Amino acid sequence: MTPPLPLRLRSATPTDAAALAQVHVTSWRETYAGLLPDDFLARMTDDHMRERREANWQNTISEGREIVLVGEREGKVVAFASAGPPRDHPGADAELYTLYALREAQGLGLGRALLSEVAEQLTAQGHRSLALWVLDVNPTRQWYVRQGGREDGAKTVPIPGGELREVRLVWDDLRQLA
């Protein structure tokens, strides 16, 4: 039997920006192929978007605007999460902005560990509840429900040539995740 590979969580540093951007676009390709319009997915994951995401992550981490955590496997960033003040979640006092993992890292417990650590850090900052938006077609939507999130509304987001539907998930008590 092969021993489990070393997994590690840590706070992101500005030098992680390129790896975060790469995980971001790669996980979109892996997750949304066949679920989103091909041309939209191509635009959201091309080199230009990867570069924009890298610059955004560099700024976000440098400025300390959000909690940003990475999950590593054998020293390689394979997952990440970010959270902070809610943008459009009335009644929630924190928002999970991102939680992405490469397909190779799924099922190893990194997603759950990242979600738990985000909740712990938000709780330490005085936050009590958490919300997020997830695409209704995202296979991880049910994973969030299994983590205790409850569905609480939906919205449509216009995209070139159509629209996407997102579902809000809420945890009324962050302590259940920490």
Query: Global pTM?
Result: 0.93
- H/E stretch holding 98: strand 95-101
Q: Tell me the per-residue pLDDT of 3-29, one tens digit each, with 9 for 90 and over.
A: 556 889 999 999 999 999 999 999 999
List the beta bridge partners of residue 95. Answer: 84, 131
Q: Which two tokens stand for residue 62?
A: 């440098």
- H/E stretch holding 119: helix 110-124
Report DSSP letters for 28-60, one per residue. HHHHHTTTS-HHHHHHHTSHHHHHHHHHHHHHH
Does 1 score more than 70 pLDDT?
Answer: no
Q: Tell me the per-residue pLDDT of 146-175, one tens digit each, with 9 for 90 and over.
A: 999 999 999 999 998 889 999 999 999 999
Q: Regarding the domain delimited by 7-127, which CATH topology (the fold level of the hierarchy) does it fall under?
A: Aminopeptidase (3.40.630)
> Which pLDDT score, from 0 to 100, does residue 162 have?
87
Coil, strand, or helix at residue 127? coil
Burial 98-125 (b: 16+ CB within 10 A, else e): bbbbbeebbebebbebbbbbbbebbbee
